[in-house]
Structure formats: C-alpha cells, structure tokens
Structure 1
C-alpha cells in the first residue's frame, strides 16, 4: 500500500466493521492484515482512534512522530451501513476446525 493515508483509511473502515461484528472472522483477519501493513510497510508504532458526531480522528506514531488523520464518519461507515441494511448478503460463517 503506497500511501499511509490509504492504509489508515482501509484499516479504519474494516476496524469499524470488525468492532461491530466480533464474530466475523474475515473482518477480524482483515483488520490484523492492515495492522501488519501499517507496522511493516509504514513503520507505525502505535495508533489512537477517536470520533465525534462527524469525524473519525486517527493519530499514528511513525518513527517517533505523531501524525493525525481525519475521515468523515459517513465515508468510513459506508461498509458497516451496507452490512446492516442487507445482512443476508453478509453472512458470518463459522471458523473451520
């Protein structure tokens, strides 16, 4: 993933889904993948997430320097909204043994 902002956007979008659907193993695994991308490709040491009525705020520490990114909630929550509106299209399958 070339840009840190794109990686954070993708991580945040799937994190919101995985937080809302803890039983969704695909969402959990995808969140872990983006955690790994942030750490390995962008040297993100830590991240902090906050939100208000309109925005999500993600602060990351990269090479010791904090950087803040803002994303509109409606942009980030579009996937979760779609899942909630059409849950039959987003069935959670149990993990295979």
Structure 2
C-alpha cells in the first residue's frame, strides 16, 4: 500500500467492523493485515483513536515524531452501517 492515509483509513474502517463483530474471522484477519501494514511498512507506533460526533482522530508516532490523521465519522462507519442495514448479505462463515 503506497499511501499512509489510505492504510490508516482502511485499518480504522475494518477495526470498527471487527470490534462490532468479534466472531467475524474475516474481519479480524483483515484488521490484522492492515495493522501489520501500519506497523511494519509505515513504522507507526503508539496508535490512539479519539472519536467525537463528527470525526475520528488517529494519533500515532513515526520515528519518534507525533502525527495525526482525521476522518469523518460517516466515512469510517459506512461499512459497519451497511452490515447492520443488510445483515443477510454479510453472514459470518467459519
């Protein structure tokens, strides 16, 4: 993955899904993949998330330098909302 912004977006989006669906093996595996990309490819450490009504704020460090990324809540939660609206399309197969 070439863009750190895209990697954080994908990681956060699937993190929300994986936390809401703890028995969903595919969501967990996808979350683990994106977390590995953030940690090993982009060297992120100390990742913390804050959420308010409008935005998600992801704080992290790279090579000791504090950085952050912001994403609209609606954008991050779209996948989770789709799953909740159409659960028949997102069955958990083991």
Please, what TM-score do these two structures have when normalized by structure 2? Answer: 0.96
- In structure 1, what is the equivalent of residue 16 of structure 2? 16
Please, what TM-score do these two structures have when normalized by structure 1? Answer: 0.94
The one-character-per-residue Cα deviations of 1:52-83 (angstroms, maximum 9, x if unpaired) are 01110101111111111110000000000000
Q: Specify every segment of 5 or more residues in structure 1 that has no aligned partner in the other structure, as ranges.
A: none
Q: Provide the C-alpha distance between the structure 2 equivalents of 1:32 and 1:74, rounded to a whole number of angstroms.
A: 23
- Measured on the aligned residues, the alpha-carbon RMSD in Å equals 0.7
SS in 2 for 1:6: helix
What aligned pairs does 1:24-35 form with structure 2 within 5 A after superposition? 24-35=24-35
- In structure 1, what is the equivalent of residue 72 of structure 2? 72
Q: CA deviation at 1:39?
A: 1.0
What aligned pairs does 1:46-65 form with structure 2 within 5 A after superposition? 46-65=46-65
Q: Specify every segment of 5 or more residues in structure 2 that has no aligned partner in the other structure, as ranges.
A: none
Q: CA deviation at 1:46?
A: 2.3
Q: Provide the C-alpha distance between the structure 2 equivalents of 1:60 and 1:34, rounded to a whole number of angstroms.
A: 15
